Amino acid sequence: MPQFAANLSMMFTEWDFLDRFAAAADHGFKAVEVQFPYDHPAEAIQKRLERARLELVLMNTPAGDFAAGERGFAAVPGRADQFRASLAQAMIYAEHVNARKVHVMAGLADPSDPAAQSAFRDALKLAVERLEGVEVLIEPINRRDIPGYFLSSFELAAKIIAELKLPSLKLQYDIYHRQVLHGDVLTSLASLMPIIGHVQIASVPGRHEPGSGELNDDMVLARLDALGYRGHVGCEYRPAKGTIAGLNWLNNLRRRGDGGFRSSWRDKL
């Protein structure tokens, strides 16, 4: 069974942000991820992680003015200065909280625009150079959730990773976004596994708890096991009826114990 990380930007929102770390630990998580930790001092987050004995496995670079629609700067032509500033902020937080992976937000731009393509590649080179010892991730995000997002294709993400040939540049494979964008989750996990640095899960289409949507999420998790994935699976979902009530899917996996997945599915995968 994969290791699971609670996404504290979506889960445990019944608690104040800094109290979510203890809540996640109290409910069996040993790792967490946070989309944007920047509203709170890095030192305060570090203390909460240490107190709860949690590992922070993933965070994003700053999105900019979220309320105004900004979703990062890496691929936005003419915003290189803002990207460098956002990267510097991410570096400070990553060092304090010992983040193992940082997702570089591409921003809103036309993927067919040569200027946007060049800006994104340059930003990724800089991120890899500056974030020494940290995996730099790029994530295809569907345009239903973020209209106009630059990186909305797994094919494009894989192409960029192959072209740049940067060992610490990896794919953030979000099962929810993959299903919305392209489908074909099981086959694509196998073909993309060599470049996958992190996996996230949520049901489709509601982005709620795994097992509550159109995908057989247990089978998807079994596929990850069969492929030898040893990283974390981020629980980046919105609990439908409260975080604690929605943890039954994970508690059932934990209770089954021996890998957590039905043997008949393992045989097929």
Which active-site residues does the annotation give? Answer: 139, 236
Helix 80-97 to helix 42-52 angle, to the nearest 10 degrees? 30
Q: Name the residue among 55, 58, 1 with its Cα closest to residue 29.
A: 55
In contact, 190 and 225? CB cutoff 8 Å: no
Q: In the numeric block, which tokens belong to residue 99?
A: 């983040």
| Cα angle 51, 94, 54; round to 5 | 25
Residue 6 forms beta bridges with which residues? 32, 235
Specify the residue for token string 């979220």: 66
On the question of a cis peptide bond just before residue 111, with omega within 30 degrees of 0, the verdict is: no
Q: Where are the alpha helices (DSSP H) in the chain?
A: 20-26, 42-52, 80-97, 114-130, 154-164, 175-181, 185-192, 217-226, 248-256, 263-268
Asked if residue 94 lies in contact with residue 61, where contact means CB atoms within 8 angstroms, the answer is: no
